[in-house]
Amino acid sequence: MAVRKSRSDRKSTRRPSSRTGLRVKTQRVSIIGLGYVGLSTAVCFANRGLRVHGVEIDRRKCDLISGGKSPIHEQDIDSYLSDCIRDGSLSCTSDIREAVLNSEITFLTVGTPSKPDGGIDLTYVEAAAREVGRILAEKKTYHLVVVKSTVVPGTTAGIVKDSLEMGSKKLFPKDFGLCFNPEFLREGTAIHDTLRPDALVIGAEDERSSETLLNLYKSFYGVDRVPDTLVTKIPNAEFVKYSVNTFRATQLSFLNSLANLCEKIPSADVSEVTKGLSVVTKIDSRYLRAGFGYGGSCLPKDLRALTALFQRLDVDSSLLLSVAEINQKQPLRAVEIAKQLVGDLRANRIAVLGLAFKAGTDDIRESVGVRIVVELLSLGARVNVYDPQALENAKHVFESSVEFAQSTKSCLRGAQCCIVATDWEEFRKIPPSIFKNEMRNPIIIDGCHVLDSKAFESSGVFVYEIGRNSGDQALRSTISPMIGNSLV
């Protein structure tokens, strides 16, 4: 295992290639699966002068991408995509054969969802590897396959290698290369994270594979600017990805438990505690934010997949089970607090601001906002929802069971209580007067720490911040006049 230190200036804010002249010697790659990871990788590679052949089986997505329009919301992705479609450095096709034959390196970025039992569903990875294998049979030159999808330890050197060998009738590592190269981008900052990752991890069993991939990254980042890189065996690299995500989930469940406790201790505030925790332990504060729990397409599913692996191999999984259980309950805190503040929720109108699992994305997979709405509806509440980017995705989930508002203002109209479930910048800027003028009761439950509760309270708007003890007295005196002293 070796960590190669980068000589780059990490604070560099240089823009990608085509705009700064930092283009690289043309290398040809194919990327199978243009979702959040595949498309972000594709546009960044193409903008730095690589020739990228994207493959996407979803026709709608493929047509949009070919027309220069992103099927997902990500900061900067539209301009990057339209640039590289226009100059021909990126093309999208559903013809995997054409893409693989016209490239030297193939990245697999297809989804790895959960099976009903929580274990990892490798159907897409296996199908893609089998197809790539069949095409490798036709290739006369060396080809490297890189798994970027998150897969449980043992998958790349097992199912993926076997599928490639079976399809191609060739042998690894003699006839083709194979790496596992986990992706750490965060939705909402995917382009930034791809251009300036904290680190690279390359899992490889042979030097030719790891050197081929490293050379690609040298071209992409510049020889002197390759991020710190860990080169290790494939299963270790697979473990690194799972350990990072389950560690983050564990931190968050720990912090959310602490937040629930802080609420019971006079003057305690989890945000302050978190600052101290970060300063003393040097844990990255980006991943220390208490709230209604974690969601998204990665943390919950990766925790389930690792737990299933622990159980399959008969290793004690009680820590991971507790992390998941705490996270399962945490969004319900929003509803419990709403009941405490408003009383019976039946027929009451509740506004939910934020359905995306985090700011900066339209992704609602396992989002806490969605879970909160489902719970409110099950208790008979009438629910208004608003999200700056995720409404279209949410319409497929809620259809006509909620009111879809087109602005924060209309979402708040007539509501007895508002729950803030996503940390969108737009929500930070809502002045107290909007809540006061539009809501029936200006009561807010802020799970994202986006509102200045003290400033709001002085304007007569009550903000219940997760993890902050505002004191029973303050709570009673602010709320009681609004709801006719029904506060328990």
Ligand X SMILES: NC(=O)c1ccc[n+]([C@@H]2O[C@H](COP(=O)([O-])OP(=O)(O)OC[C@H]3O[C@@H](n4cnc5c(N)ncnc54)[C@H](O)[C@@H]3O)[C@@H](O)[C@H]2O)c1
- Quote the least distance from Cβ 158 to ligand X, whole Å: 16
Residue from 48, 51, 53, 61 touching ligand X (CB under 6 A): that is 61
Q: How many residues bind ligand X (CB under 6 A)?
A: 26
Quote the CA–CA distance of 483 and 341 in Å, as a whole number.
Answer: 8
H or E stretch at 90: strand 90-93
Q: Is 238 in the site for ligand X (CB under 6 A)?
A: no
Active-site residues, by number, are 298
- Measure Cα distances from 39 to 92, 123, 285, 430 in Å: 10, 20, 28, 33
Binding mask 8-37 for ligand X (x = CB under 6 A): ------------------------xxxxxx
H or E stretch at 370: helix 368-378
The upper half-sphere exposure of residue 148, i.e. CA atoms within 13 Å in the direction of its Cβ, equals: 26
- Quote the least distance from Cβ 58 to ligand X, whole Å: 4
- C-beta of 146 vs 430, nearer to ligand X: 146
Binning the chain into helix, strand and coil, the percentages to the nearest 5 are 45, 15, 40
- C-beta of 127 vs 397, nearer to ligand X: 127
Residue from 110, 145, 350, 439 touching ligand X (CB under 6 A): that is 110
Residue from 27, 149, 181, 367 touching ligand X (CB under 6 A): that is 149
- Quote the least distance from Cβ 381 to ligand X, whole Å: 31
Q: Is 38 in the site for ligand X (CB under 6 A)?
A: yes
Cβ contacts of residue 218 below 8 Å, gap of 6+? 226
Quote the CA–CA distance of 129 and 462 in Å, as a whole number.
Answer: 55
What three-state secondary structure class fits 229? Answer: strand
The DSSP-derived string for 174-202 is: TT-EEEE------TTSHHHHHHS-S-EEE
Which segment (109-117, 210-218, 219-227, 456-464) binds ligand X by CB under 6 A? 109-117
- Quote the least distance from Cβ 143 to ligand X, whole Å: 17
Q: Which residues of 272-307 are buried (b: 16+ CB within 10 A; e: fewer)?
A: ebbeebeeeeeeeeebbbbbbbbbbbbbbbbbbbbb
Q: Is 167 in the site for ligand X (CB under 6 A)?
A: no
- Quote the least distance from Cβ 212 to ligand X, whole Å: 21
What three-state secondary structure class fits 3? Answer: strand
Q: Is 103 in the site for ligand X (CB under 6 A)?
A: no
Q: Is 249 in the site for ligand X (CB under 6 A)?
A: no
Which segment (56-64, 170-178, 196-204, 389-397) binds ligand X by CB under 6 A? 56-64
State the Rg of the chain over Cα.
24
Cis geometry, peptide bond prior to residue 173 (ω within 30 degrees of 0):
yes
Task: Output the residue with the shortest Cβ distance to ligand X.
Answer: 35
Cα 172 to its chain centre, rounded Å, is 33
Q: Is 111 in the site for ligand X (CB under 6 A)?
A: yes
Q: Is 70 in the site for ligand X (CB under 6 A)?
A: no
Residue from 18, 23, 28, 58 touching ligand X (CB under 6 A): that is 58
- Quote the least distance from Cβ 109 to ligand X, whole Å: 5
Binding mask 288-327 for ligand X (x = CB under 6 A): ---------xx-----------------------------
Quote the CA–CA distance of 156 and 179 in Å, as a whole number.
Answer: 8
Q: Which residues bind ligand X (CB under 6 A)?
A: 32-38, 55-58, 61, 109-112, 124, 127-128, 149-150, 183, 185, 187, 297-298
